[in-house]
Amino acid sequence: MFGMGTTELLIVLAIVVLIFGVNKIPQLGKGLGEGIRNFKSAIKTAHEDPEEKPKQEKQ
């Protein structure tokens, strides 16, 4: 995975826990998930109706 072995992944995980603390990790995951979901939604909307947006803005 990304050219990283198990040892490197464990080191990165330990650093994340040290920086953010155990209590903040679920909040970070939730925020990251929401951001990815919003990004995918925006991309999907842009690809579905590329010509309808200018029409709506003119009205």
Residue 58: is its pLDDT beyond 70?
Answer: no
Top pLDDT among 10 and 54 is at 10
| Cβ-contact 49, 57 below 8 angstroms | no
C-alpha to C-alpha distance for 33 and 49, rounded to whole angstroms: 25
pTM, two decimals, is 0.53
Residue 52: is its pLDDT beyond 80?
Answer: no
pLDDT for position 15? 92
4-48 pLDDT, tens digit per residue, is 899 998 999 899 889 888 888 889 889 999 999 999 998 888 877
